[in-house]
Structure 1
C-alpha cells in the first residue's frame, strides 16, 4: 500500500490529534510573537529592513574602480565651489535670469554633494584626496574649471551687471570643467551610479552653459 493510501486510511482520531497539535503549535508561536517585552532581542522586521537598506545603497556598493573614486572626490570639491559662486548672487546679481540660474545650481548640486559623500563612505574611501580650492587654480590646476582664490575674491567684490557678467563667464568655464571630468568618468568609470551622475552632469551643465552664453550675449 502506498504512503498516500496509508494516510487516507489513518484512523480519524489520529488525524484529529495531528491537526490539533499543529493548531496548538501555531497558537503558541503567535503568543510568543505578541510578547514584545520578552522578544526584545529579536527584531522580526530586521530582515526586511536590512533588505530595504541594501536595495537603497546597493548602487553605491556595487563594483567601482579608481576612476569612480577620483571622479566622486573631485566632483564634491567642484560642486562646493559652484555653490559658493551661486550663493554670492544673493545681494550682488541684478539680472533676473542670473539670480534664477544661481538658485537652480544651488538646488541641484547641494543634494548631489550629499549623495557623493554618502557614496564614498559606503566604499570606505575618504571624502578628500588632499585636494582643496587653493590647489586648483584658474586654468592651471589639477581640476579643470576650478576658480582661483583671486577669481573668487573678484566675483565677491563685483555687483550689478559687472557681477552678472563675471558670474556667467566664470560659471561657463566651471561647468565646462565639470563636463570634462564627467566625460572621463563615462569612459573610465565602472560604478553604475557614478556613471549615471556623469551622464547627468554632461546633459544638465551643457544646457546651462548654453543658457549662460545667451545671458552674456544680451548683457
Structure 2
C-alpha cells in the first residue's frame, strides 16, 4: 500500500505519510519475521498478508485482494481517499492485534506497545488528512 502512494497519490501529505509508515513498519516486519523463523513457522511473503475471504486466521485489518486491486487502480484524489480509508482500517486492526499481544511475553509486549502508540497517532493523522480532502 505504501509503495503505491509514491506514484498514485496526489497529496504531498499522503505521500509523506506513506513513506513514514513504510519506514516505521519495516523494522516491525523484520522483527516479527525473525520470531516466526525462530519458532519454526512459515514467514509470509510480502503481499501475502491479505485474503479475499477476510479470514486470515482472524487477523483484523487485513485487506482483501479486491481492496488492493481497487487501490492499485486508483490515482490522484481518489487514491488519496481510498489509501487513507484502507490504511486506517489496517492500522486499527494492527492496534487491536497489538493490544491483545501486550499480554504476551516481554519482546512481543514491547513491540505491541510501540505499534499501539505509533499507529494510533497515524490513525489520527490520516483521519485529519481525510477530512481535508475534497
Q: TM-score higher than 0.5 here?
A: yes
Deviations 1:50-77 (A, max 9, x none): xxxxxxxxxxxxxxxxxxxxxxxxxxxx
1:133 maps to 50
TM-score (norm 2): 0.88
Quote the Cα distance in structure 2 between the aligned partners of 1:177 and 1:127: 19
Tell me: CA distance 1:178–1:89, structure 2 relative to 1, closer, same or farther (3 Å): same
Unaligned runs of 5+ in 1: 1-84
1:102 maps to 18
Tell me: CA distance 1:124–1:150, structure 2 relative to 1, closer, same or farther (3 Å): closer
Residue 7 of structure 2 aligns to a residue whose secondary structure is coil
Tell me: CA distance 1:97–1:113, structure 2 relative to 1, closer, same or farther (3 Å): same
Residue 102 of structure 2 aligns to a residue whose secondary structure is helix
Residue 8 of structure 2 aligns to a residue whose secondary structure is coil
Quote the Cα distance in structure 1 between the aligned partners of 2:119 and 2:53: 20
1:113 maps to 29
Matched, 1:164 2:83: no
Matched, 1:199 2:113: yes
Quote the Cα distance in structure 2 between the aligned partners of 1:97 and 1:154: 21
Tell me: CA distance 1:162–1:178, structure 2 relative to 1, closer, same or farther (3 Å): same
1:135 is displaced (CA, Å) by 5.5
Among 77, 86, 98, the alignment partner of 2:2 is: 86
Aligned residues: 129
Quote the Cα distance in structure 1 between the aligned partners of 2:75 and 2:41: 40
User: Contact (CA 8 Å) 2:52, 2:65: kept in 1 or not?
Assistant: no
Q: Which has the larger radius of gyration?
A: 1
1:124 maps to 40
User: Contact (CA 8 Å) 1:136, 1:146: kept in 2 or not?
Assistant: no
Quote the Cα distance in structure 1 between the aligned partners of 2:62 and 2:49: 10
1:143 maps to 59
Residue 88 of structure 1 aligns to a residue whose secondary structure is helix
Quote the Cα distance in structure 2 between the aligned partners of 1:102 and 1:132: 18
Unaligned runs of 5+ in 2: none
| Over 3 Å off, 4+ runs | 123-126
